[in-house]
Amino acid sequence: MTFKSWAVLSILAIGLVAAASPTPPPAPAVRDVETVYYGVSVPDPYRYFEDPKDPGLATYFREQSAYTRQILDALPGRAALRSRIAQLDNTNESLNSVQAVGSYYFYLKRAPGANTTKLYRRRIAGGAERLVFDPDTFARSSMQHYTFDYYSISPDGRYAAVGTAEGGSEKTVLHVVDVADGHLLADVIENAIFFGPQWRNDSRSFYYFRTPELGPDAPQSERDTKGVVQLHVLGRSPNLDPAIFGYGLSPRVPFAPEDAAIINVSPRTSWAVAAVYHGVQNEIALYVLPASQATNGQGLWRKIVGYEDDVTDFDVVNDTLYLSSHLGASRHRILAVDLRNTPSLTNAREVVAQSRHVIAALSLAADGIYLQDLDGGISKLRRIAIRSDGTPGSTTDVALPFEGTISQIATDPLRPGVTFDMESWTKSPLWYRASATSPVRDTGLRKKSPVDYSGIVAREVLAKSADGTDVPLSIVMRAGIPRNGENPTLLDGYGAYGIAITPAFSPTRLAWLERGGVFAECHVRGGGEFGEDWHFAAHIATKQRTVDDFIACAHYLIDNRYTVPAKLAGMGTSAGGVTIGNAIVQNPELFRAALDVVGDTNPTRDEFAEGGPANIPEFGSVTDPVGFKALYETDPYIHIRDGVAYPAVLAITGANDPRVAPWIVAKFAARLQAATSSGRPVLLRVDYDAGHGALGASRAQTQALITDEYSFLFWQL
């Protein structure tokens, strides 16, 4: 179908839907609540949505979901679009979470046409793959699906500890699989959340993080809190597993309710290292103990690193602890600490100095420590040689096959080499391997996508933000499309946690691009594209800069004739809800449509939701004046005004979402529906078998969601 014919269908769709639209459901009741924070009165007409037992919320979800389905399903051309999206997606395989253990690769793969992801094994040297475990073993009907939250392989490769959850809920249950024949052991551990277990060297025991079971009336904000690291031995009842590290165990180790932890052990050292993660904060605290003593809660853990030391990653060889820190080095540097001699950062040796590269991760192999770097959005790879005594040697670059993104590196501390994936906006991901003695080669783990991007181009430009900062903007489009202001354009933005949004290949995006659509990614501040300075430039009190950057990218696209406001849509996912929510509330005239995908569009109330307290280090808290002011000023729900012509909005949530509570998205949609004067639709899409967006979604769910998003946008643009 040509772009012109699709545009005609879109125009027909607008007319047909307007002529035959179903009757909207009744508006939800307004129950005015006002809360005064530091002298500021904050109205909240849908506060009652926050009570999961309130029938008003269930009614709103049910009625809005049915109405949205009637609207979207009736759009002419939708069936053809869904067929094309399915065609593009079903020919493609996904393969991620590679672990190199001994002579084998383990990985999670969704084969072409398969609905869910499964765990496989293949020899590193090559050969046929073998299915290890299918999480849908737990499904009691075809209406259910289960997904992996994590998996971890024992050092001898005999067992896989797998964490699975139903319907994207992230309510993780840990099982142990015998790799040889795929049968489940009797070991079953509930509430083993967040991290894959850390196996001990005996391959018969592991550390795992577990939170207590709370009663049904416990506040949402207390769920997934007060956790401890426990030690499990195969065959032992989890009720007998001792707590080794965590909440309430030792006054020597401060541990907040929302903190989480892992204990890392390795065959390359006699030390156990405990890492404490303070909510979503990137900086960690580290404690050490001889591994032989980390078998009960009586061990005297020694603090090596505090949050103030700005350490974000680590590994250990013999008696040397390697650290990635941005203390005094926004783009990170690598430090080495001798654990035998009063270890602290003041005694650390600098191994790799700060450079133009942002050090994103480090990973230990037998032939050195591999560094995953980011250079202005392009990935690099380096190797630090490690001497036999564990001390560092020289650092060398690893030549890569093309300019693109590395999203994961995998190593085995006992085997030389690194395995990593690479992709770009127009090149499909492949998995490669390299070592100190072998150049980069394709592992053959993943096949090149058959989706043809040869007619697609990507451009990298800079947009000038409100304070004069140059903000990177990636523009992906069909080659030869004229810049005449007539192109339907989708602008995406995230901007939180220091996460860098890097070039990524999307087979289904071709359904947008081949119909004349333009896709643009605004690399807003709050992300990690240029290190911690870029992250903290839009953090708590300065969060508005994330929104300013996004607006600047919208103006760039308009000023340079890629599009016009009547053809421009914005999109934000999860923490990107702050970005897109504020963009359309502060500048509604710039956008014709918006996608709010599981978006945090009511951040002043987020800390009272499940998982919300963990976000306080990133966004602030209403319990202190600075945090409240930052949250209030960038809360789009609060600042919606009656009688304003807002863009059309498709608000999307999953009923099982533990990260952004479904009621956050519902409140935003309800308030927009009541306030807008544009006559454009504000629709709420609810998936009752989904969690946080793409996390835990099946292939069929993903295809349905993309179809709804693109259908909605083509209709409006």
Q: What is the mean pLDDT of the chain?
A: 94
> What region does 368 belong to: left with phi over 0, alpha with psi -120 to 50, or beta?
left
Mean per-residue pLDDT, 34-56: 96
362, 315 Cβ separation under 8 angstroms: yes
In DSSP terms, which residues pair with 325 in a beta bridge?
311, 333
Whether 693 shows a pLDDT value over 50: the answer reads yes
Position 82 scores a pLDDT of: 98
Strand pairing of 648-654 and 682-687? Answer: parallel
Q: At what angle do helices 576-586 and 662-675 cross, to 10 degrees?
A: 10
595, 650 Cβ separation under 8 angstroms: yes
431: part of which helix (H) or strand (E)? strand 430-435
Q: Which amino acid, residue 652?
A: I
**Rounded to an integer, what distance in angstroms lies between the CA atom of residue 324 and that of residue 354?**
10
- Nearest 5°: the CA angle 278, 151, 437 is 95
**Rounded to an integer, what distance in angstroms lies between the CA atom of residue 633 and that of residue 630?**
5
- Tens of pLDDT along 475-496? 999 999 999 999 999 999 999 9
Q: Which long-range contacts (CB under 8 A, 24 or more apart) does 26-29 make?
A: 26/63, 27/670, 27/673, 27/674, 28/56, 28/59, 28/60, 28/670, 29/56
Q: In what order do the strands lie in the sheet with 415-422?
A: 409-412, 415-422, 430-435, 438-442
In DSSP terms, which residues pair with 525 in a beta bridge?
527
Nearest-CA neighbor of 456 among 514, 411, 521? 514
- Nearest 5°: the CA angle 422, 523, 696 is 60
Position 52 scores a pLDDT of: 87
**Rounded to an integer, what distance in angstroms lies between the CA atom of residue 174 and that of residue 121?**
19
Q: Which amino acid, residue 219?
A: P
**Rounded to an integer, what distance in angstroms lies between the CA atom of residue 106 and that of residue 241?**
27
Within 10 Å of residue 365's Cβ, how many Cβ atoms?
A: 24
Quick one: DSSP state of residue 143?
T
**Rounded to an integer, what distance in angstroms lies between the CA atom of residue 155 and that of residue 166?**
28
3-state SS, 512-580, equals: HHCCCCEEEEECCECECCCCHHHHHCCCHHHCHHHHHHHHHHHHHHHHCCCCCHHHEEEEEECCHHHHH
Q: Coil, strand or helix: which one is 47?
A: helix
Tokens for 699, please give them.
């292939």
Position 663 scores a pLDDT of: 97
Position 195 scores a pLDDT of: 95
Beta strand spans in 10-145 (E):
34-37, 40-43, 94-101, 104-110, 118-123, 130-133
Position 560 scores a pLDDT of: 98
- Nearest 5°: the CA angle 538, 542, 547 is 65
**Rounded to an integer, what distance in angstroms lies between the CA atom of residue 497 and that of residue 413?**
29
**Rounded to an integer, what distance in angstroms lies between the CA atom of residue 363 and that of residue 214?**
36
Which positions ≥6 away from 401 have C-beta within 8 Å?
422, 432, 440
528, 358 Cβ separation under 8 angstroms: yes
Whether 657 shows a pLDDT value over 70: the answer reads yes
Q: Coil, strand or helix: which one is 69?
A: helix
**Rounded to an integer, what distance in angstroms lies between the CA atom of residue 34 and that of residue 606?**
17
Place of tokens 């303070």: 278
- Tens of pLDDT along 498-525? 999 999 999 999 999 999 999 999 999 9
Position 2 scores a pLDDT of: 36
Position 16 scores a pLDDT of: 39
Position 142 scores a pLDDT of: 74
- Tens of pLDDT along 333-380? 999 999 998 778 888 999 999 999 999 999 999 999 999 999 988 999
Position 4 scores a pLDDT of: 36
For residue 675, give Cα distances in angstroms to 18, 88, 353, 668: 20, 39, 53, 11
- Tens of pLDDT along 525-574? 999 999 999 999 999 999 999 999 999 999 999 999 999 999 999 999 99
153, 132 Cβ separation under 8 angstroms: no
Within 10 Å of residue 594's Cβ, how many Cβ atoms?
A: 30
Whether 309 shows a pLDDT value over 70: the answer reads yes
491, 568 Cβ separation under 8 angstroms: yes
Place of tokens 């498709």: 650
Tokens for 109, please give them.
């793969």
196, 187 Cβ separation under 8 angstroms: no
Q: Coil, strand or helix: which one is 15?
A: helix
Which positions ≥6 away from 536 have C-beta within 8 Å?
542
Position 141 scores a pLDDT of: 77
Q: Coil, strand or helix: which one is 598?
A: coil
Whether 10 shows a pLDDT value over 70: the answer reads no
Q: Coil, strand or helix: which one is 308?
A: helix
**Rounded to an integer, what distance in angstroms lies between the CA atom of residue 270 and that of residue 68?**
58
12: part of which helix (H) or strand (E)? helix 3-20
145, 115 Cβ separation under 8 angstroms: yes
**Rounded to an integer, what distance in angstroms lies between the CA atom of residue 475 and that of residue 341?**
52
Mean per-residue pLDDT, 146-156: 96
Position 20 scores a pLDDT of: 57
Position 13 scores a pLDDT of: 39
Quick one: DSSP state of residue 82?
H
Place of tokens 């005004």: 641
696, 687 Cβ separation under 8 angstroms: no
Position 11 scores a pLDDT of: 34
- Tens of pLDDT along 194-228? 999 999 999 999 999 999 998 888 898 998 999 99
Position 345 scores a pLDDT of: 86
**Rounded to an integer, what distance in angstroms lies between the CA atom of residue 714 and that of residue 94?**
27
516, 482 Cβ separation under 8 angstroms: no
Whether 14 shows a pLDDT value over 70: the answer reads no
Whether 415 shows a pLDDT value over 50: the answer reads yes
**Rounded to an integer, what distance in angstroms lies between the CA atom of residue 499 and that of residue 484?**
34
**Rounded to an integer, what distance in angstroms lies between the CA atom of residue 500 and that of residue 372?**
13
Q: Coil, strand or helix: which one is 214?
A: coil
Whether 88 shows a pLDDT value over 60: the answer reads yes
- Nearest 5°: the CA angle 51, 57, 63 is 170
Q: Which amino acid, residue 358?
A: V
653, 620 Cβ separation under 8 angstroms: no
Q: Which of 3-7, 14-18, 581-585 has the highest mean pLDDT?
A: 581-585
**Rounded to an integer, what distance in angstroms lies between the CA atom of residue 305 and that of residue 345?**
7
Q: Which amino acid, residue 54?
A: D
